[in-house]
Amino acid sequence: MLDPSSPVPLYYQIKTTLLDQILQGRWTDGELLPSESQLAETCQVSRATVRRALAELQREGWVITRKGIGSTVAKPKLEQDLLRFYSLARSFGGGPHRVSSKILRRDETYADSMLAKRLGLETGGLVMVIERLRHVDEEPIMLETSYLPSSLCPGLTELSYLEGLYDLLETTYGIYIARAEEYLQAVTATPDEAALLEIPKDTPVFLVERISFSPQNQPVEFRRSVVRGDRFRYKVELQQN
């Protein structure tokens, strides 16, 4: 029921009501929501008000609206907790989801000043580069590029299996990650990134940059990930001191 006397706009009341019903499972992913005209009649508002509510839900990734079809419930976003060290394979590979990768690049290069600073190397030092297009349930989710000092993991790019990179570093090279510094920001996908991730160009994405360190505080990896904002969200729990 809407409250016309409330200071909360009617479109926002409709949006939150629909979202509550989606979260409670009234409609599941892929299922069609009532039409604009049905919702307008039920809520006793204009179609423009309903359209704005649906546009807000689409902007936040809860529904997908297609002209001539209507609004359907979007797939639930993958959620990553930021309170502990994580990777895509470790977070989602052991549950109901299937994680896979397509190797786009695996070779050696020379560190420029940016890479050298992040990896604690001299400019021009040798660096392994592994670029992967990561999939969850066969859907492209992130474009991930890892840079590692060649001296730490010789022959890494020659290995046939590069799915769980952190597990591989532990089992093959005895390299363990003790901590990481991570930076997240919102950017728009470049045309090349959008094509690989199968999203429209200029779509908002997360840019996640990480420097991982060994127990001896030696930089082990610099990782740059471009993550689909429509399919992924990050969670942080905040507590009062």
Among residues 143, 132, 146, the alpha carbon closest in space to that of 101 is found at: 132
- CA angle 200-59-57, nearest 5°? 135
Which tokens in the block code for residue 217?
Answer: 């505080």
Owning domain of residue 62: 10-73
Residues forming a β-bridge with 232: 78
Same domain? 84 vs 49: no
- What CATH code is carried by the domain that includes residue 54? 1.10.10.10
Is 2 part of a structural domain of the chain? no
Contact 183, 222 (CB under 8 A): no
Same domain? 164 vs 107: yes
Q: Give burial (CB, 10 Å; 0-12/13-18/19+) of 16.
A: middle
Q: Is residue 47 within a helix (H) or strand (E), and if so which, with residue range?
A: helix 47-59
Reported as a single tens digit per residue, the pLDDT across 135-184 is: 988 899 999 999 999 999 998 888 877 778 888 899 999 999 999 999 99
In this prediction, residues 7-33 reach a mean pLDDT of: 91
Confidence of residue 94 (pLDDT cuts 50, 70, 90): low
CA distance 19 to 163: 36
Same domain? 63 vs 85: no
- Our separate counts of H helices and E strands in the chain read 7, 10
Same domain? 106 vs 220: yes
Same domain? 108 vs 58: no
Which of 43, 73, 103 is where one domain is finished? 73
Instruction: Kindly report the pTM of this predicted structure.
Output: 0.79
